Structures are given as structure tokens and as C-alpha cells.
Amino acid sequence: MKTICIQDLTVRDGNQSLLATRMEREDILTLAAALDKVGYHSMEVWGGATFDSAYRFLNQSSWDILRDIRKVAPNTKLSMLLRGQNIVGYRHYDNDILERFIRLTIENGIDIIRCFDALNDIENIRHAFSYVKKYNAHLQAAIAYTVSPVHSNEYYIDLVKKYEELGADSICIKDMSGIISPENAGELVRTLKQVTDLPINMHSHTTAGLTQLVMIEAMKAGVDCIDGCISPFSGGTSHIADGTLLAIADQLGLSSDIDRDALSDAYEVANKIADKYIARGDYRTRSLISNPKIFEYQLPGGMLSNLISQLEEQGAADRLTEVLQEVPRVREDMGYPPLVTPLSQMVGSQAVLNVLTGERYKVSPSEIKTYLTGGYGRPPARIDEDFRRKILGSDQPFVPSNSDLLEPEYEKNFAYLEGLLGREPLEEEVVAYTIFPGPVEEYMRRNELATVQPEENPVADVDPATEPVAKSAPVMQSANMRTYRIAVGDDEYLVELEEVSEGS
Ligand code: CO
């Protein structure tokens, strides 16, 4: 009897997809302790948007939370989600910062690192892969699954072959938007099984309501590991319930190491926690409604729920359909990037701006300009030159990002924090600050420097503790540049908008 392993994602992806990563430390720990007894192959508990959210919304160090999770969950392998050279942020960081982050992650209790690049650009993940191997963690190489004229199964097979050459220990089909068809899930698993002996994990969001069928086909095709969430945090933009996966496995004659009594206990614990967030409105129950339109829009779980809340907060909830229709158009213009962080935020922001300003590409986030000059690596398809010129304002060369050439940031940020804190900062503090300077400095000011007046810094001046929602007014403004707090992706972030001259 073949054994199927189940990975629980509740604390990371479930939290991110249904609660916009607002789950508090106490609840995270209560849940992790209950889930630890279930007998999962592993639990994804950290990374993705949870790192930023800890500082920004929970007033906690994300490293502290990780260490606490490790303490309360000693029996299960812990997994985290890493965005390659983007680490858990929205731009590329230098290799020294990346290596320090990965080493600290492993030292603080992570066993498995699931690593992907939003563009599936090997150049953006090969350094991360090598550091995960260097510090002896399990390297799970993920393909960012999407559907487009340039994304065929052959494309994914080539990618997996490269992953294997680079030392991957397992492969993940990461269907972050929940758009893989049941038929292709089976086909892709079967085909991959012919070219690699590495274990294959299936990750598929239930956004469109197809995941039950996807998982049946993937299991029939011999997938080794499947991702789910405990039932009260399953469904909609999140994942299939662990109990449902177990029922499918039973029906297909697959065994598992799940302790059903412990699963039932964990369900009760999770139910109480879910009730709390439903009562205070952080659990967006609308995100639970199946949305087959996702095949057209391809939004990842976290993005759709945040897009809804952002438009609601700006009093523009009635524009949602327009924005959703604009998303695939922007994506096509940008060379069909898979819609996953940070590309989902960038495409989402641009779509929102195109609709709310009433003119396509009148304003563009600075990240889009960086993308169009190669700062995020190679897009899957060629980008139209006229489109590039319109956004960039002039002809500019496309130079794909090379992390070896990025300026090291550690020493500079160490010195800055030493001055700020009046003590030697910890390595983990410097690394966190480098990735999220604004939220981490605010966290330090609130907790360690409560009496010190903030310096002149208009971006950091916005206190996320008192300003947790997106505002339509700019938080910073100059003659032709405005900075907005935009919440269209897995999280809120600052977007610089620059007027693009008309007709260029
Ligand atoms: Co996911």
C-alpha cells in the first residue's frame, strides 16, 4: 500500500489566504501545537507574507515567532516559503543577505525550504538553492504554475530537469491561483514521474472549486505529497481540507501517517480560533465563495481577498469586476508573468491604477519600471517595445538582474541600526531590516526606542499599528512623485507613482 504524505499549510498559507496574515502569535502557537500531534509529513508555518506581517501588524519579531513555533511543534518537520532572490520581500537582495537569511532560517528551526521564483527564472533561484544545500536543509524546488500561450508541460519539465541538476530534494507544483485542470494535474504528475525520481508535491488553491478533482487525479498519477489546511481554514482562496484529502486517499487505497483522533482535536482548536477572526471581520468569509472566473483572472488566493478589501476600503468595491478584467490584459502586456508575489502585487496595482485613474498606464508603480528594465529577471514572453517605451518614457536597455552585481547591504545597515539602537544589532535584526526597513524600524521604535522621536522620514512615519488599512490619500507627495500605501497582494506595501507624460 503506497503511503501519501500530507503537508498542512494552515499557519502560513491558510493564514495568508483567508486572514490576510493577521493571525496573532498566541493563536499561531496554539494551532501549531495541536497540528503537531496530527502526524503530518510537514507543516508550512513561516515565510511568504508572514514575515512582514509579524512586524507590521502583530508588533512581533518574525524570528521570535519561528523559534516559538519550533518549541511548541517538536515532532513535525517545519517548512517555509522562500521567493528566491526576493527572499520574503518585493525586490532582489544581494547574495550575502540571502545566505544569512537562509542560514538563520535553518538555525531557528526550519527543515524544508520551498523555493520558487515568480518568473521561474533559474538565475533568480540558483543562489538560494545552493545556500539551502550548504546549510543542509531539504530543498523543495517549486514551479510557479500558470496557464498562458508560453507555459506548456514541456516548459515545466525542462524547469524540473534544471531543478534536479541544481540539487533539489523534491519538487512542488505550486498552483497558487488554483487554475490547474484536474486532467493536466494528472498529466503533469505522470509526465514528471517519467523524467525524475524526486518526490512530487501538489499545491493547489481551492479558489475555483476544482481542487478536490485535482487532488484525485494527482494521487491517481502517483503524486507523493499533497498540501491542505485544517478544515476551518480551508476552502475558497485557501486550500482543500486535510480531512478531505484523507478521505480521498482512503478511497484510492493510499495509506497515511495521520492520527485521526489528533486531527479531530486539532479541528476543534482551529474552529474556536477561526470563530474569533470571523467575529472581528479579519476572516473574510467572502473569500470562501468558489470563483470559477479565476480561470480568466488567475489571481492567487491572497491577492483576490486583498483586492476585494482594498477596493472596499477605497469605497470602490463596485469596480472589482473592472479591475479583475484588467488584470489579464496587464499580464499579457507584461509578457505573461505567473501571478505570484511580487508579480501579483505589481500586476494588481497596475490594474487598480488603470481602472481608478480612468486611463491605462497613466501612472505606473516604480516596480513595474524595474521589471521592464530587467530588475526582476527574464519575463516568460517578449514584451512589446512600444509598451516598454510608454511606461519607461524613453528607450532603455533590458538588463536581466544579476545578483552577483548587487551592492552588499549588510554592513551599511548594521551601522545604521547600531546608531539607531545604541547597541550592536543582532544579525537577524539587520537581515529583517534590510528586507523591510520601514516596518522593522517602526517595530524597533515602538518596542525599544519608545521615547525617541522618529527622524524625518516620511515613509517610515506612517505608523502601521494605527494605520493598518489602505488609504486613498498619498502618504508622501512631491511634484511628480507620490507614494501610496497599496494593498492588492498578499500584503500592503508602498508604491511610488510617477506621472507618465502623455503620448510618449
Ligand atoms: Co499557496
pLDDT score for 349 = 87
Q: How far apart are CA 166 and CA 124, in angstroms?
A: 13
Residue 129 backbone phi and psi in degrees, to 5:
-55, -45
The pTM assigned to this predicted structure is 0.86
Q: Cell triple for residue 476?
A: 508622501
pLDDT score for 302 = 62
* Cα 206 to ligand 1 centroid, rounded to whole Å: 10
* Cα 313 to ligand 1 centroid, rounded to whole Å: 25
Which residues in the chain come in under a pLDDT of 70? 300-302, 305, 451-504
pLDDT score for 59 = 97
* Cα 16 to ligand 1 centroid, rounded to whole Å: 9
Q: How far apart are CA 46 and CA 485, in angstroms?
A: 24
* Cα 227 to ligand 1 centroid, rounded to whole Å: 9
pLDDT score for 183 = 97
* Chain centre distance of CA 342: 8
For 174-225, the pLDDT digits (tens) are 999 899 999 999 999 999 999 999 999 999 999 889 999 999 999 999 999 9
pLDDT score for 294 = 78
* Cα 228 to ligand 1 centroid, rounded to whole Å: 10
Long-range pairs for 401-405 at CB < 8 Å and ≥24 separation? 401/85, 401/92, 401/123, 401/124, 401/374, 401/375, 401/376, 401/377, 402/123, 403/85, 403/92, 403/93, 403/94, 403/95, 403/98, 403/123, 403/124, 403/127, 404/95
Q: How far apart are CA 93 and CA 84, in angstroms?
A: 9
Whether 215 contacts 226, CB under 8 Å = yes
Q: How far apart are CA 184 and CA 190, in angstroms?
A: 9
- Sorted by sequence, the CB contacts under 8 Å of residue 460 that are 6+ apart come out as 437, 438, 441, 442, 454
* Cα 13 to ligand 1 centroid, rounded to whole Å: 5
Residue 7 backbone phi and psi in degrees, to 5:
-105, 130
pLDDT score for 297 = 79
* Cα 19 to ligand 1 centroid, rounded to whole Å: 13
Whether 102 contacts 132, CB under 8 Å = yes
Q: How far is CA 488 from CA 199, 346, 350, 387, 469, in A?
A: 34, 9, 10, 23, 11
* Cα 104 to ligand 1 centroid, rounded to whole Å: 23
pLDDT score for 289 = 84
In terms of Cα–Cα distance, which of 120, 112, 127, 109 is closest to 81? Answer: 112
Residue 308 backbone phi and psi in degrees, to 5:
-60, -50
Q: How far apart are CA 352 and CA 307, in angstroms?
A: 9
- Radius of gyration in angstroms for the set of CA atoms belonging to the chain, rounded to a whole number: 22
